[in-house]
Amino acid sequence: MDLNTFKKELDSRNFWGVNSKEAFESAYEWANEANENSINKCQWSWDCGLKLDYDGELCNISSRFYPPHKSSAEYRKYHGWISVYILEKEVFEKEIESETLDQLKILVEKKVLELENKIKAAVESLFN
């Protein structure tokens, strides 16, 4: 089914109760075209029953830690960074070091929870 026919059928509710492979193939083609020149981070996608989503990530927390054997023999610590990105722009970075893997887990999870709470509060304040 060509895209014009698909859009016309969808707009006029002619897909009520329809679950055809042809309709979904056209739907996915429409989403691919719609996302080609996207102006933001959200992307169009289709869910079951031809429900339409426009979703995307605005914030990302990324980290990497090197175990002692990946550093010089004298260093003997885990070390790495936690970074926060908003729309692919790094807005925060924190270096973390620890003596043990268990300590690293505690430090990183505590810091990430703190960051999550700050981000949530900041975003909520924008909408209140």
Domain map of the chain by residue range? Answer: 3-55, 59-127
Degrees to nearest 5, angle at CA 30 with 29 and 31: 90
3-state SS, one letter per residue, for 17-74:
CCCCHHHHHHHHHHHHHHHHCCCCCCEEEEEHHHEEEEECCCEEEEEEEECHHHCCCC
pLDDT for position 3: 93
Degrees to nearest 5, angle at CA 12 with 40 and 55: 20
The 10s digit of each residue's pLDDT in 112-128 is 999 999 999 999 999 99
What is the rounded distance in angstroms from the CA atom of residue 71 to the CA atom of residue 110? 24
The 10s digit of each residue's pLDDT in 60-105 is 999 999 999 887 777 889 999 999 999 989 999 999 999 999 999 9
Dihedral of CA atoms 118, 120, 122, 123 in degrees, nearest 10, equals: 160
pLDDT at 19 over 80: no
Give the mean pLDDT of 11-38.
88
